[in-house]
Amino acid sequence: MSPENAKQPYAIKKNTKRQAWEFGAGSDMEKRMLSSERIIKHPNGLYEVFSKEATEGKGQMAHTGDYFKVDEEGFPSPCERDWFRKNHEHLEADWYLQIAKPLKIWRKGYDESEEIRFLIDNGALTINEEDPSHYFSAFLWGTMETAPSDAVIVFYSVNRDDNAKITSITFNFVDYGYFQENYSFLC
C-alpha cells in the first residue's frame, strides 16, 4: 500500500518475540552496549541510549529499571518500564513476547489526521519539507530526534478528555525498512 492512496491505516507487529534487557540489572548485553558506548551511564543514574534515531550527538534518556532492545544493526532502543511491562509477557531469560495490538500509523502522503494536526499544533512534531533526510523531528526520550521522509509515525496511545478532544499522544518514528519487516498493515 503506498502512502499516496492510503487513508490512515493501522498496523500490527508481526514478529513479537524479542530479547530485552533491564537497565541497571548488569546483563552481558548492557555491559556490551556500555563498552561500545552505544549506551552511556551518567553519574546521576540516567542512561543515554544512542538509538538509530538519536541525532545531534545526543542519545535518548532512560532510567534504571527501564528496558532496552537491540535491533539487527546493533542499535539499542529504550522502552519505559511501565509501558514495557504492560505490553510484554516474559517468556524466559531475556526473551519477551510483545502483546501485539493494532496501532494507528501515519506517513508522508497520507491524509492529515487529527493526531498529526494535534502534534504539529502543540509543537510536539515538526515537518521539515526542505530536508528529506531529517523530514520529521520531535523531542522524544529526552532528546531531539529526526527521521527521514519515508519513516512511519506509530501512535502508541492517544489520550482524550470526556469530550473526545485529544489531550496527549505517545508516538515514535519507525524506520521504514524496519517497519516493512516487522509490521503488517491493517486497513
User: Mean pLDDT for each 10-residue chunk of the chain (187 residues)?
Assistant: 58 89 97 96 95 78 96 91 93 94 94 96 97 94 90 95 96 92 87
- Say what the pLDDT of residue 138 is: 95
- Name the helix (H) or strand (E) containing 93: none
pLDDT of residue 58: 84
CA angle 124/99/115 to nearest 5° reads: 25
Q: Which residues contact 7 (CB under 8 A, 6 or more apart)?
A: 110, 111, 187
Cell representation of residue 148: 527521514
Please state, in angstroms and rounded to a whole number, the distance separating the CA atoms of residues 52 and 50.
7
Q: What pLDDT shows up at residue 44?
A: 95
Q: Are 130 and 157 within 8 A, CB to CB? A: no
Residue with cell 521522509: 149
Cell matching residue 31: 555491559
Q: Taking the CB of residue 111, how many other CB atoms lie within 10 A of it?
A: 10
DSSP 29: H
Whole-number pLDDT of residue 56: 67
